Chains A and B, each alone.
Chain A
């Protein structure tokens, strides 16, 4: 009986879906089920850290304007209207007035007002919230609201990236939902578990350790999205998540590894698509002595030795072995996708005989029976720490170990839990580590990860303590430059400075590969967020299956009570 009821619901839903699709005359309807490895950490735009949370939030919330697929961050070129349908620059460029789309509404029916914009920025800057985004909007002084449809951003200084800072970092949050909750209690609040946004998808439910579901906001001011539902199906084990995709339980698997591609190719109904991500991988040396940070590292304190180690590394072979064709050797602390990156940056070449000669000249000579180098009785030996959760980084370390061995350098590989490695990084007690920075469309993050400020500040992320006034000056000049050609020239000089100083071996710039069912029709995948165009993805009606015909669930009632930790 119940099974019959289920069939009836499906039939009715199918008919409704057909009628809806016909009435809109478009290719709407269908469910996208996506395999993911973990729950979102928190569904608050200013607090989230995980990719799953970013995916959900980017579809539920809207920004004032969206960065274009070219990822230009200078001025407003390429940005497209979202909540703001237009904007006006002040003559002195110290402020930008955003004019809100009068049709924009929150998913609870309230209109989007300029107060919401002011509230979003003010709350993110509130130190009691502890927002990771606070450090990237420091140039924004405040937001004023001359009327309910205009939000004016005021800046501390003119900057080429001030428009990007204002619109990219934060989706706008509804003041009326959050205003009664103390910032310190946001993470645990009910409002964080039932987000109300203004995006083309509205939140339906989050079953921890099982699924997150969104449904199309058919009355959205930007129009209804093509897919009716988006569901993240959570499985923490990689094999389980992949198997879900291979067996058709899900339509999309965004974390394919090179070794999975052959298996995917056995299924004619499955496809893959690669795109350039925003991450680079490197082997970083600690330039300070782990036991006494005032002294240089006994091995890596020497620039020539670091250059010799770089010369001893066949990066092309390393990348080919680990990533096959899914990565390129990294150019430096940058990405090819940045318009400011010169793909012909001058590199330290792979030259093993020359590396050996440099090490000899530095007094590190092969004296032991196992062909390892020593100097004054001290072996040329160090430890490379890697997170054991990253198969790729472990593989890179093992291959690097073999390449260094050929140069007479003994490298031990230490596999650590990620929190343990993070703690050692923070305290600067590592010798060397294979790290990865996941960056943003702006190349400016390089200042914190490789600049002097990031090395000396207790809050800094320059864990290898590389310091170069020349590099800092070039980066500062590049970031302050409004002219794209000048900007590129300064960045090139900065990158070439750091490449020649070799505080790290720049290993790989991985491509990202998503696997998807051929019934899905994708839109272009953007480097910083492949999911951003999901509202434009579709499933043709002749390729739909049972799950595509399920009606979207009604939005749950909002309760914004506070539960503080």
Chain B
């Protein structure tokens, strides 16, 4: 098992290196640079832009910039963010916990809600309840994440003012609250972005889980359970669900990229100070080191996430433990 993990980690390192190199090349080859965006000010001369480019080493040939970047990476540095004027590690280090919090809440919430919805659908398959839930999950499944985020924002902050609009805390009052007040403030601000991401994740999970449950229901052991006199509810919970959970574990691995990219757009709309917020802004301002750093951290999260999913799958299915 340890050898397997080591091999997968080595593969992951190669994937991350390739992704980082491609991102580095693409973002540098895109027209514009961090200092061409100051063009709306007629007083900013080209010589000032050249000075700024030189200060940050952007006047060097691209291969030289790449070699310098790889050298810094080998020392554990992700470079200097032009737009934040701080080391990239510091920018992403402060943003990553917020993104992880959002993703973990959405992952657990989405899977719990999705599995619950699938169970309700299967227990009442063919009924109006099944069809309504199926329709709703299809709607959320096909809805772009940013669109759902905007609807949630307008619906639950403006038309029905239940949640705060944006940010991780109330920027005006948070510093002056007690511990409980701060905690409540943080949870209140987390609710809407987490709910949006949860709804998106649960729609996918519900559809997969319903199909997986319907696949196992005709199996012999289910028929045996029925013959033993178990109720439909017990059959679903004890026998069908356990066996139908295996494909869902694969879905956990597959969900990581979707959750991460979903979080990117949702963070921007809700001004949630996570990695997505930082990296999406960095693309617009051509903050090369921050974009590449964000992609590296993101690809590490995705590859490690899929490794964990594979390990969970092997742990859950005794037939795979030997492999």
Known: A209-B278, A235-B271. A445 touches B80 (CB 8 A): no
Residues of B within 8 A of A2 (CB): 177-181
How many angstroms between the C-alpha atoms of A511 and B281 in the bound complex?
A: 27
Known: A127-B51, A236-B268, A237-B271. A419 touches B37 (CB 8 A): yes
Residues of A within 8 A of B (CB): 1-6, 9-10, 13, 31, 33, 38-39, 41-42, 49, 127-136, 184, 187-188, 192-193, 207-211, 213, 231, 233-237, 239-241, 243-244, 246-247, 249, 389, 417-426, 436-440, 445, 448-449, 457-461, 546-547, 550-551, 553, 563, 565
The reply to whether A418 and B37 contact each other, CB–CB distance below 8 Å, is yes
Residues of B within 8 A of A417 (CB): 30-32, 284
Among B31, B86, B157, max chain A CB count under 10 A is at: B31
The reply to whether B166 and A235 contact each other, CB–CB distance below 8 Å, is yes
Q: Which of B106-114, B130-138, B167-175 forms contacts with chain A?
A: B167-175
18 more CB-based (< 8 A) A-B contacts, given A13-B176, A239-B269: A5-B178, A6-B177, A10-B176, A41-B83, A127-B51, A128-B51, A132-B43, A135-B44, A135-B48, A188-B80, A193-B85, A208-B84, A213-B171, A240-B270, A249-B170, A419-B32, A422-B32, A553-B175
Q: How far is the CB of A436 from chain B (nearest CB, A)?
A: 6
Q: Give the contacting residue for B164; candidates A249, A438, A457; CB below 8 A.
A: A249
The reply to whether B55 and A130 contact each other, CB–CB distance below 8 Å, is yes
The reply to whether B271 and A207 contact each other, CB–CB distance below 8 Å, is no
The reply to whether A209 and B271 contact each other, CB–CB distance below 8 Å, is yes
The reply to whether B42 and A439 contact each other, CB–CB distance below 8 Å, is yes
Residues of A within 8 A of B176 (CB): 6, 9-10, 13, 550-551
Q: 7 smallest A-B Cβ distances: which pairs?
A: A419-B32, A2-B178, A211-B171, A130-B51, A459-B46, A2-B180, A422-B36
How many angstroms between the C-alpha atoms of A466 and B158 in the bound complex?
A: 49
The reply to whether B85 and A547 contact each other, CB–CB distance below 8 Å, is no
The reply to whether B167 and A210 contact each other, CB–CB distance below 8 Å, is yes
Q: How far is the CB of A426 from chain B (nearest CB, A)?
A: 6
Q: How far is the CB of B41 from chain A (nearest CB, A)?
A: 6
At the interface, yes or no: B165 with Cβ under 8 Å from chain A? yes
The reply to whether B48 and A134 contact each other, CB–CB distance below 8 Å, is yes
The reply to whether A459 and B47 contact each other, CB–CB distance below 8 Å, is yes
The reply to whether B52 and A130 contact each other, CB–CB distance below 8 Å, is yes
Among A419, A436, A547, A553, max chain B CB count under 10 A is at: A419
Known: A5-B178, A128-B51. A426 touches B36 (CB 8 A): yes
What are 20 pairs between A and B in contact, CB < 8 Å?
A6-B177, A9-B176, A13-B176, A133-B43, A207-B171, A211-B167, A234-B167, A240-B165, A243-B154, A247-B161, A419-B285, A419-B286, A420-B32, A424-B31, A426-B36, A438-B41, A459-B46, A547-B173, A550-B176, A563-B86
In the complex, chain B residues 11-41 whose Cβ is within 8 Å of any chain A Cβ:
30-34, 36-41
Contact with A along B79-96 (1 / 0, CB 8 A): 010011111000100110
Q: How far is the CB of B171 from chain A (nearest CB, A)?
A: 3
The reply to whether A437 and B42 contact each other, CB–CB distance below 8 Å, is yes
How many angstroms between the C-alpha atoms of A497 and B23 in the bound complex?
A: 49
At the interface, yes or no: B143 with Cβ under 8 Å from chain A? no
Among B84, B165, B180, B268, max chain A CB count under 10 A is at: B165
Residues of B within 8 A of A133 (CB): 43
Give A425's nearest chain B residue, CB to CB. B39
The reply to whether A449 and B42 contact each other, CB–CB distance below 8 Å, is yes
Q: How far is the CB of A243 from chain B (nearest CB, A)?
A: 5
Q: Give the contacting residue for B271; candidates A4, A240, A424; CB below 8 A.
A: A240
How many angstroms between the C-alpha atoms of A130 and B38 in the bound complex?
A: 13
In the complex, chain B residues 146-169 whose Cβ is within 8 Å of any chain A Cβ:
150, 153-154, 157-158, 161, 164-169
The reply to whether A132 and B172 contact each other, CB–CB distance below 8 Å, is no
The reply to whether A187 and B85 contact each other, CB–CB distance below 8 Å, is yes
Q: How far is the CB of A81 from chain B (nearest CB, A)?
A: 26
At the interface, yes or no: B273 with Cβ under 8 Å from chain A? yes
How many angstroms between the C-alpha atoms of A130 and B51 in the bound complex?
A: 6
How many angstroms between the C-alpha atoms of A130 and B52 in the bound complex?
A: 6
The reply to whether B36 and A423 contact each other, CB–CB distance below 8 Å, is yes
Residues of B within 8 A of A460 (CB): 45-46
Give A2's nearest chain B residue, CB to CB. B178
The reply to whether B173 and A422 contact each other, CB–CB distance below 8 Å, is no
Residues of A within 8 A of B33 (CB): 419, 423
Known: A41-B83, A234-B271, A439-B42. A418 touches B284 (CB 8 A): yes
Give B91's nearest chain A residue, CB to CB. A208
Known: A42-B85, A247-B158, A247-B161. A445 touches B43 (CB 8 A): yes
How many angstroms between the C-alpha atoms of A12 and B161 in the bound complex?
A: 29
Contact with A along B212-251 (1 / 0, CB 8 A): 0000000000000000000000000000000000000000
Residues of A within 8 A of B166 (CB): 235, 237, 240-241, 243-244
How many angstroms between the C-alpha atoms of A437 and B39 in the bound complex?
A: 9
How many angstroms between the C-alpha atoms of A356 and B285 in the bound complex?
A: 42
Known: A184-B55, A237-B269, A243-B154. A547 touches B172 (CB 8 A): yes
The reply to whether B41 and A419 contact each other, CB–CB distance below 8 Å, is no
The reply to whether A236 and B41 contact each other, CB–CB distance below 8 Å, is no
How many angstroms between the C-alpha atoms of A445 and B44 in the bound complex?
A: 11
Known: A2-B178, A5-B178, A459-B45. A247 touches B85 (CB 8 A): no
Residues of B within 8 A of A461 (CB): 39, 42, 44-45
Known: A188-B85, A208-B84, A233-B167. A239 touches B153 (CB 8 A): yes
At the interface, yes or no: B277 with Cβ under 8 Å from chain A? yes
Q: How far is the CB of B250 from chain A (nearest CB, A)?
A: 34
At the interface, yes or no: B56 with Cβ under 8 Å from chain A? yes
Residues of B within 8 A of A244 (CB): 165-166
The reply to whether A237 and B32 contact each other, CB–CB distance below 8 Å, is no
Among B43, B84, B176, B268, max chain A CB count under 10 A is at: B43
Known: A134-B48, A188-B86. A240 touches B173 (CB 8 A): no
Among A3, A249, A389, A563, max chain B CB count under 10 A is at: A249
Known: A188-B86, A233-B167, A243-B154. A3 touches B36 (CB 8 A): no
The reply to whether A550 and B172 contact each other, CB–CB distance below 8 Å, is yes
Give A211's nearest chain B residue, CB to CB. B171
Q: How far is the CB of B39 from chain A (nearest CB, A)?
A: 4
Q: Give the contacting residue for B168; candidates A3, A131, A210, A421; CB below 8 A.
A: A210
Q: How far is the CB of B169 from chain A (nearest CB, A)?
A: 7
Q: Give the contacting residue for A233; candidates B40, B46, B172, B175; CB below 8 A.
A: B172
The reply to whether B40 and A438 contact each other, CB–CB distance below 8 Å, is yes
How many angstroms between the C-alpha atoms of A565 and B287 in the bound complex?
A: 13
In the complex, chain B residues 244-291 whose Cβ is within 8 Å of any chain A Cβ:
268-271, 273, 277-278, 281, 284-286
Residues of A within 8 A of B173 (CB): 546-547, 550
How many angstroms between the C-alpha atoms of A550 and B181 in the bound complex?
A: 15
Residues of A within 8 A of B44 (CB): 49, 132, 135, 461
